[in-house]
Copies of this chain bind each other. A is one copy, B any other.
Amino acid sequence: MKDGRKRGRPRAFDAKAALGKARDVFWDKGFAAASLDNLSAATNLNRPSLYGAFGDKEDLYLDTLEGYRQDGMDALAEALDPSLPLRDNLARVYAGALAVYLHGETAARGCLLIGTATVEAVERERVREVLGRSLGDFDGEIEKRMRLAVERGELAEGADPQMLARLASAVMHSLAVRARAGDSRETLEAIARSGVELICGPA
């Protein structure tokens, strides 16, 4: 009773690890092209176990998106450490993103949300909701830092924190798309640098 052991046969797998494997499949193939057989093979779970643990394919996909979103927000908060200059904060955000985006095996994977949820967003309301919320939360977290930067005088007096945050996000969206389109690391890093410079002003 003390340990949370449930009543029936115990699970023979780690749900968190399985979710990570499923995420990789969705990341490469997208939602529609990822079959339950693909997911079953990658997770080493047979379809009924997958279904029992996570629900149907869309439920599973939404779970992976939600986990990814959470990881992204954690990484963002860390990169935006307010004891560092805004310029460094943004550079860290982009560097962290590129480390994830370029991790592909054949071709770079980009961002799970932008790369795979965007296409499903039109016809699947729940996907659209997660995507919209993820982008909005991301904007909001950067906006908080921008607001602080204005107070501190790191930005011009009349600067609009909300719009600057959205433009900082825009650079990330572009990195995500371009990574998947095959752009080189050097190109992407140059774009990130230029983005920082445009938003924060010349060094």
Q: What is A's interface to B at a CB cutoff of 8 Å?
A: 28-30, 32-33, 104, 106-110, 114-116, 118-123, 125, 128-129, 131-132, 135, 160, 163-164, 166-167, 169-171, 173-174, 177-178, 180-183, 190-191, 194-195, 198-199
Copies of this chain, count: 2
Min CB distance A147 to B, Å, is: 16
Contact among B30, B178, B199 with A30 in the assembled complex (CB-CB below 8 Å): B30
Known: A28-B123, A107-B122, A135-B178. A167 touches B171 (CB 8 A): yes
When the two chains form their complex, are residues B115 and A198 in contact, meaning their CB atoms are under 8 A apart?
no
When the two chains form their complex, are residues B181 and A167 in contact, meaning their CB atoms are under 8 A apart?
no
Q: 20 more A-B contacts (CB under 8 A) besides A30-B32, A115-B122, A131-B181?
A: A32-B32, A33-B119, A107-B122, A107-B123, A107-B128, A109-B122, A118-B181, A119-B119, A121-B180, A121-B181, A128-B182, A135-B177, A160-B194, A164-B198, A166-B191, A167-B195, A167-B198, A169-B174, A170-B195, A173-B173
